[in-house]
């Protein structure tokens, strides 16, 4: 009777190394400590992961801002930072940005940040697995000042574009100011009746005025000073 010879072959399966421990990861954030609303700054993120041949999961970078008045410190985990930043008016500078890890495990990334609100903002960074596990975290703060108002344009004295004029209504002469630019402080009126000087916008025609030459002058003023312009002379009948 023939014997059946059975040869058993051993199959060896090599499993990938287990994920590295969290303390094998590092993360650093750096950049200016102050900023101004509307003016961009650059935040630099860098770190070190286990070399790619030792850690076979991809890693991701997330960076967000959180108002320090809401929280004095960054949350320990990336999902908590997401919720807090979105709920309190923060901004995401990097959202699941894949870290390009070099052969020695080092990586770096630069990101722009243009502040939209004044105050002190925590910049919270996380190296994570794009799900829930945070491998490394880092923070810094930026104090943002309001944008300064543009310097006011220099103020010039009022300028006369059309000279004053005199009209008559019954027994009254009326002084009209003409046209001016920059006369924010209003007008002052004065009459010249021969060598006499009288104030007011109107002049009553009396015996002492009839037969004489009159003219009115208008003084316009603003914060820079004042300017005076006079009407053409008019003989009163």
DSSP state of 74: -
Residue 94 belongs to what H/E stretch? Answer: strand 92-98
CB 185 within 8 A of CB 221: yes
Alpha carbon distance 67, 64 (integer Å):
10
Q: Which domains does the chain have, with CATH numbers?
A: 22-145 (2.60.40.10), 159-235 (2.60.40.10)
Position 150 scores a pLDDT of: 76
Position 17 scores a pLDDT of: 40
Alpha carbon distance 225, 219 (integer Å):
10
Which tokens in the block code for residue 163? Answer: 């000279």
What is the sign of the dihedral through the CA atoms of 137, 139, 29 and 88?
positive
CB 186 within 8 A of CB 221: yes
Please list the rounded mean pLDDT of every run of 10 residues in the chain (237 residues).
36 38 83 95 94 76 95 93 91 90 91 94 93 89 90 85 96 96 92 93 94 96 94 94
Nearby residues of 145 by Cβ (< 8 Å), 6 or more positions away: 34, 35, 36, 37, 118
- Nearest one of 176, 180, 181 to 201, comparing CA atoms: 176
Position 23 scores a pLDDT of: 65
CB 58 within 8 A of CB 51: no
Query: What is the DSSP secondary-structure string of 207-226?
Result: TTTTTSEEEEEEEEEETTEE
Alpha carbon distance 109, 103 (integer Å):
16
- Residues composing the chain: 237
Alpha carbon distance 123, 30 (integer Å):
10
């Amino acid at each position: 009777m023939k014997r059946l010879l059975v040869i058993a072959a051993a199959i060896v399966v090599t499993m990938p190394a287990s994920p590295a421990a969290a303390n094998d990861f590092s993360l650093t954030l750096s950049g200016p400590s102050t900023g101004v609303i509307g003016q961009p700054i650059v935040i630099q993120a860098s770190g070190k992961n286990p070399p790619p041949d030792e850690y076979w999961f991809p890693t991701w970078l997330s960076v967000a801002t959180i108002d320090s008045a809401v929280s004095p410190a960054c949350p320990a985990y990336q999902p908590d930072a997401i919720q807090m930043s979105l709920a309190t008016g923060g901004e995401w500078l990097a959202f699941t940005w894949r870290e390009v890890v070099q052969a020695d495990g080092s990586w770096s990334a630069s990101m722009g940040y243009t502040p939209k609100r004044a105050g002190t903002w925590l910049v919270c960074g996380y190296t994570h697995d794009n799900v829930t596990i945070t491998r490394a975290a880092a923070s810094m703060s930026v104090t943002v000042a309001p944008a300064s108002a543009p310097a006011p344009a220099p103020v010039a004295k009022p300028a006369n574009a059309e000279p004053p004029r005199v009209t008559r209504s019954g027994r009254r002469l009326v002084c009209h100011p003409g046209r001016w630019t920059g006369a924010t402080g209003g007008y002052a009126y004065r009459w010249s009746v021969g060598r006499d000087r009288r104030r007011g916008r109107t002049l009553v025609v009396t015996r002492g005025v009839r037969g004489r030459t009159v003219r009115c002058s208008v003084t316009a003023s603003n914060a820079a000073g004042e300017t005076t312009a006079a009407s053409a002379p008019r003989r009163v009948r």
